[in-house]
Amino acid sequence: MLLRSIRKNLIRWIVASSAGGVIGPQSLGGVLVVRFRRVAVFQPRDCRLKHGDDTLRGERLGQKGRDIVTVAQPPLIVRQIQARARTAPHAPAILSADGQQALSYQGLSRLVDKVAATLAQAGLGAGDRVALWAARGPMTVSAFLGLLAHLPVVPIDPSMVGQLPDLLQRLSIKALVAPEGLDLPQLDRPVHRLMPTGQFAEFRIEVETVSDAPPALDLAGLADPALVIETSGTTGRPKVVELTQANLAAGAQSAARTLALAPGEICVNPMPLFHVHGLCIGTLATIASGGTTVPMMGGDGALVLDACAAAGATWYTAVPTIHHSVAQALEREAGLARGVALRFIRSSSAALASVTRDTLQRHLGCPVLEGMGMTEAASWVAHQPYGPGPTHGPLGPAQGTEIAILTEAGEITTAPFVQGELVLRGPNVITRYDVHPGDPSEAFHDGWLRSGDLAELNEKAELRIHARLKELINRGGAMVSPVMVEAILLEEGAVAAAIVFGAPHPSLGQDVLAAVVPADPAAFDPDAILQSVARKLPAEALPRSVFPVSEIPLNRIGKPARIEAALRLQDKFTQIYAAPRTPLEAILVLIIEETLGRARHGRHDDFFLAGGDSLSLMRLQLRIEEDLGVLVPGDVLTTERDVARLSAWLETHHGETMRHRLADVFDDAPAASEPGT
C-alpha cells in the first residue's frame, strides 16, 4: 500500500509540475531519480498521462528487483519558446551572423501564433505534412519553428529542385512553403510563399488558395508527427523517418544536458537546414535551452570565425569538412581567433582528424567534443560530455538514449569489447520507419532500432564505431573497417582528411585503398604515411596505396561517400602502361608477369593492384632470390611495390650483385642477329 501511494503521488507531482511548459525540477524538463526496489523503469511509450496539450508517456523497460529511474517527458519545443518569451521576452532567439540583428523570443512566439491562423486559412489541418524550402538563412529557421509548432515539417534540400514533384508525391506532402520569387517546376500541390516583412527573420505567408472552411489548428501534441526527413542514404536508397514532437523534445533535452547548455548560450550553426544536424542540434537544442541560434549562409572557415566573434558565440557545431576549413583559416591567419571566446566546439557525422582537432584547440583554447547522431534518433545517440577529461578517443557514453550491441548470435549485450551491430532505443528514437526500401521488420530487433553500424562498448560503456556494416571491405576473407583505417590515418599530422574504400582485386575480391587531403601538399609523402600507419594497423587493413586529393567526396550532408569515392578516384588506381627502361626493370617485369600470370605489366604498375596478394608476394620473393640472388625482405616488397621503385631499391642496396647477375644473364643470352643477316 505504501509503495502504491508513493508511486501515485510521484505521478501526480510530475503532472502538476508540467504547468507552464516546464516539467520536473529542471528548466529543461526534470529527471527525477528515486531509489526503490521492485519497481519498473519508465520511458515514453505505453503509459499516457494527459496534461493540457502535452501527453506524458511511459514504457516499461525495467525488471523486478531493480532500482527505478522515472523520467519526465520534456515539454514541446514550442512550449519552451513560449516559456522563454514570458520570462525573457527580449532575449534573442535568432541572431544574424554579424551580431547586429535579432529576432527575440517574444517575436518568435508571436510568429508561431500567426502561422497557425495562416495555415488554417490555407485549409491545412492537424497531421497534414508541409514541405519547407530549406535554404540557409534566418528566415528558414523562424519558418521551421513556426510550422513545427503545428504541423509535421518536411525540409527540402534546395539542390533537389529537379526531384521536387516526385518528393511531394512520395512523401505525401499537402503543400509547399517556399520563398517569394523562387522559380519552381510545375507542381500539383499548393505553393504558399514566404514574404519578408522587412524585420529580421520575420515573415508572413501568402496563401495560394484560401479555404472556405478553415479547420481549427491547435498546437501539436507530444505524440504528433513533427519532422519528416530522409536518411543520408550513405549505403543505399534513403529511408524516410517520421520523428514525433516527443522525439525532438527528448533529443534536444539530451543534447542540452550533455553539453551543459544554459539560457543565453549562442550557437553558430553553419550546417544545412534540410537535415537533422543543423535542425535538431544547431537549432532545436539551442532554442530548447533558451539560447540563441546563428544560422549561417555557408561553411567557409573564415566566415565561421567571423560569425563566432561578431555574435559572441559560446559554441558552434559542424561536420569535419567545415572544421578543417576553420583550422586552415586559423593557420593562414591566426588573428582570426581574436574576439572568439568559445566554451567548446562540437563535431559529428564523421571522424575528425587529430591535426584538425589539435589546431582548433591550440588556436581557440577550448575543447572539441565529438559525438554520434542518427536521423532516426533526432541526431543524438552518444557523445563526449562537456567537462574535464580527454576530448578524443571513444565517442562517449549514451546520452539520453539506451544503446547496446546485437551479436551475430542475436543476443543484446552491453558487455565491454564485444563487437556487433549497434542497436538503440529511447524517447528520442523512432519505433518504425515511415518508408523503408527493404524489409521494415529487419530494421528492428525486439524493439531495438538496428543502426547498421559495427560497434563496441568499452569498460566505461563508451561507444566506438568501427564501420557501416555494408561498407566493410572483404579483403581475401578478412573484413576491414574503413572507419578504423581512417581513424589511424587521421592521427597522422600530415593528413587533414581521409577516406578509405574497397577496390576490386583479382584474387582478394577487394583491396584497401585510401585517399587523403594532405595537411601540407608540398610535403606530401605517401610512403612515409604508409610506413607510419603500418605500425598501428594489422597487415590486412594496411592500404595498398594512398592517393592525394584536394577534397574528400562527401554526400549532400557532409558524410563520406565511399561508393562515389571508388568511382571518382578510379583513374587513380587504374594502371597506365609504361614500358621498362633498364635491363633490371625488364627482368623484374618478366618475373612479376610470370608470378601473377598476367601480360604487359608496366614499370609503374602496383604489384597489389595488379592482382598481388600475400601468397603471390611470397612467390615473388622466391623468384627474385632464385633469379637475382638477393632475398628481398617482405616489408620492402610491400612498400616498393612497383618495378621502378623495386629496381631502384635493388640498385641502391645490392648494386654490385645486380651488375654481376645482369652480366651473367646477358652473356648467356643468344647473340642478336645483325641487320640484314
Q: What is the pLDDT of residue 234?
A: 54
Q: Where are the alpha helices (DSSP H) in 75-194?
A: 77-87, 105-121, 138-148, 164-170
Last residue of a domain, one of 356, 380, 404: 380
Residue 484 included in any domain: yes
Chain-wide mean pLDDT for the chain? Answer: 83
614 exposure class (CB count in 10 Å sphere: 0-12, 13-18, 19+): middle
Do 330 and 241 belong to one domain? Answer: yes
Q: What is the pLDDT of residue 557?
A: 67
Residue 306 included in any domain: yes
Q: How far apart are CA 264 and CA 286, in angstroms?
A: 9
In which residue are the cell numbers 548470435 written?
Answer: 409
pLDDT, tens only, 541-577 = 888 888 888 888 887 767 778 877 777 776 666 666 7
Higher-pLDDT residue of 68 and 469 is 469
Q: Which range, of 11-15, 356-360, 426-430, 449-453, averages the lowest pLDDT?
A: 11-15
pTM: 0.73
Do 529 and 464 belong to one domain? Answer: no
Q: How far apart are CA 540 and CA 600, in angstroms?
A: 27
Residue 388 included in any domain: no
Do 620 and 662 belong to one domain? Answer: yes
Residue 341 DSSP label: -
Q: Are 621 and 634 in contact (CB under 8 A)?
A: yes
- Read out DSSP for 196-251? E-SSTT-EEEE-SS--SSPPP--PPPTTSEEEEEE---TTSSPPEEEEEHHHHHHH
Q: How far apart are CA 636 and CA 168, in angstroms?
A: 58
The CB density around residue 655, as the number of other CB atoms within 10 Å, is: 10
Q: How far apart are CA 148 and CA 127, in angstroms?
A: 11
The CB density around residue 246, as the number of other CB atoms within 10 Å, is: 26
Q: Which residues pair with 462 in a beta bridge?
A: 397
Last residue of a domain, one of 358, 380, 402: 380
pLDDT, tens only, 609-651 = 777 877 788 889 999 988 898 999 988 888 788 899 999 999 9
- 157 φ/ψ sector (left φ>0, alpha ψ -120 to 50, else beta): beta
Q: Are 351 and 483 in contact (CB under 8 A)?
A: yes
Q: What is the pLDDT of residue 668?
A: 54
CATH number at residue 612: 1.10.1200.10
Do 157 and 263 belong to one domain? Answer: yes
Average pLDDT over residues 349-370: 91
Do 526 and 426 belong to one domain? Answer: no
Domain that holds residue 437: 393-470
Residue 291 included in any domain: yes
Do 346 and 427 belong to one domain? Answer: no
Number of domains in the chain: 5
Do 197 and 317 belong to one domain? Answer: yes
Residue 363 included in any domain: yes
Q: What is the pLDDT of residue 354?
A: 85
CATH number at residue 358: 3.40.50.12780
CA atoms within 13 A on the CB side of 20: 12
Q: Measure CA of the first residue to CA of the last residue in the chain; give whole Å.
A: 117
Q: State which amino acid sits at residue 28.
A: L
Do 242 and 187 belong to one domain? Answer: yes
Do 456 and 547 belong to one domain? Answer: no
Residue 674 included in any domain: no
Residue 201 included in any domain: yes
Do 345 and 397 belong to one domain? Answer: no
Q: Are 56 and 90 in contact (CB under 8 A)?
A: no
Do 466 and 492 belong to one domain? Answer: no
Do 228 and 125 belong to one domain? Answer: yes
pLDDT, tens only, 424-461 = 999 999 999 998 877 777 899 999 999 999 999 999 99
Last residue of a domain, one of 439, 470, 501: 470
Cell numbers that stand for 532 in this block:
607510419
Comparing CA positions, the residue from 427, 448, 379 lying closest to residue 57 is 427
Q: How far is CA 530 from CA 115, 497, 522, 536, in A?
A: 58, 15, 17, 10
Q: Are 112 and 83 in contact (CB under 8 A)?
A: no
Residue 221 included in any domain: yes
